[in-house]
């Protein structure tokens, strides 16, 4: 069912991809959308203040095995997204997904296949998928 939605999304993106049909246009729009996602998240801290960042070195006791490592790692985020910031970030992430899908479409790749292969890879490698 989920793959069906992704497939329908890719079909719709292909239908709507008129102005940025060039691979170069789609590549640069994808890069631009990434920057806009980053900026919208940064603005939650610098403009709105609904989130704050309290970062320090990640530490974990040396005797902890990799399986239990996650419980010692932090996101460094404090607070919760306000409604306005949540809406803005979701909009920017949606735009980013649009251009990711456009790249797949232009390269004749099925986005569902990309998701399936990545899921299979991370599922197989598990915690050893540290990149």
List pLDDT tens digits, range 59-102. Answer: 988 898 878 888 888 999 999 999 999 999 999 999 999 999 99
Sign of CA dihedral 19, 22, 24, 28: positive
Q: Which of 106, 92, 86, 115 is nearest to 6 (CA)?
A: 115
Q: pLDDT at position 11, please?
A: 93
The proportion of the chain whose per-residue pLDDT surpasses 70, expressed as a percent, equals 95
Question: Using 50, 70 and 90 to split pLDDT, how confident is the model at 131?
Answer: low
pLDDT in tens, 8-27: 999 999 999 888 789 999 99
Q: pLDDT at position 118, please?
A: 92
Q: What is the pTM of this model?
A: 0.86
> What CATH code would you report for 2-45+83-126?
1.10.287.1080
């Amino acid at each position: 069912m989920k793959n069906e939605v992704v497939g329908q999304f890719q079909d719709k993106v292909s239908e709507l991809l008129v102005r940025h049909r060039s691979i170069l246009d789609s590549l640069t729009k994808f890069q631009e959308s990434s920057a806009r996602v980053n900026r919208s998240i940064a603005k939650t801290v610098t403009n709105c203040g609904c989130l704050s960042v309290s970062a320090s070195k990640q530490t974990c006791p040396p005797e902890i095995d990799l399986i239990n490592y996650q419980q010692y790692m932090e996101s460094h985020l404090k607070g919760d997204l306000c409604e306005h910031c949540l809406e803005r970030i979701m909009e920017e992430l949606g735009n980013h997904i649009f251009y990711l899908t456009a790249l797949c479409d232009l390269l004749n790749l099925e986005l569902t296949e990309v998701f399936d292969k990545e899921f299979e890879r991370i599922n197989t490698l598990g915690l050893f998928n540290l990149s």
